[in-house]
Structure 1
Amino acid sequence: MKVHQIRFPVPGTHAAASSARRDLVAAIRAWGTLLPPELLDAAELVASELITNAVRHAGADGPISAGAHLGTGGLRIEVIDTNSEIPEAGLPGTAAEAGRGLFLVAALADRHGFDPLPSGKRCWAEFEFSAALSSAETHPM
């Protein structure tokens, strides 16, 4: 399987978060992989949550970047920001309109977490897939 990777800056605005999610998912889909639609849908929602959280909590603090890596082991989505606060899943009230993002990430991804960095943190989520899945370039339909 061919390895693919993308990373790009995300301005710290809510409009930019929406655009970044669309750009990231479009890039993953454009790689021409034979990933199941449900995995791509889950990756889109996870990317949206990670990017939105970075913009909401770190948008004013400095640069944000979003990226994805697809290799033989699976798909990894990462968002890096300059806010050093550790993300925590809270228990939002039933009427709360926010606060469920990390629960969604945990439910959809095979693994997720964060890595402290010298100037912020990296939040990531990984999706595994069968070794039988490969690029469309290798196994055309």
Structure 2
Amino acid sequence: METHQLALSLPATPAAAAAARHQAVSAIVGWDAGLGTEVVRTAELLVSELVTNAVQYAETGSVSLAVCLDEVVLRIEVCDTSPVLPQPALPDADSEGGRGLFLVAALADRYRAEPTENGKRCWAEIDLITKPSQDIACFLPLQRS
């Protein structure tokens, strides 16, 4: 499989997450890499959560989105100009927000937030090749000869 990339600069407005979702899903499906619906929908949600957080904390008028697909991983990166790294915390039961990073952590195989010269980069990765679990092998039926 060849490497595919999408790079966008988006205005830091409430509409950015929807635009990012639409363009990312269109690109991922358009790459015709045979990714299943579950991977595409997971990527869609990760894009939405990461862009929403970036828009909320961006100090200037834009955020950037990069999506990269290679043989083994789908990586989503969002950069903004705020140097403040996200700190997951349990939201109050009545809070309307504050759950995005928990969703990212639950859906991604890896995620991080890193400082950059101009702010921060938040990324998440979805592994495309899974290693078989030894536990699964124990439950496979054995054929008798």
Distance 2:103 2:119 in 1: 23
Deviation of the 1:93 alpha carbon = 1.2
Alignment: residue pair count: 130
CA contact (8 A) 1:62 1:81 kept: no
1:127 aligns with 2:126: yes
In the alignment, structure 1 segments of 5+ residues that lack a partner are 132-141
**TM-score with structure 2 setting the length:** 0.85
Deviation of the 1:40 alpha carbon = 1.1
Q: What residue identity is the alignment partner of 1:98?
A: G
Distance 2:61 2:18 in 1: 18
- Of the two structures, which has the highest relative contact order with CA contacts closer than 8 Å and spacing of 6 or more? 1
In the alignment, structure 2 segments of 5+ residues that lack a partner are 131-145
State the partner residue of 2:100.
Answer: 101
Deviations 1:44-102 (A, max 9, x none): 101100000000111x4243100100001210000011100011111111121100000
Runs of 4+ in 1 over 2 A off after TM superposition: 60-63
Query: Considering only CA atoms, is the larger Rg found in Structure 1 or Structure 2?
Result: 2
Deviations 1:111-131 (A, max 9, x none): 000221011011000000128
CA contact (8 A) 2:81 2:120 kept: yes
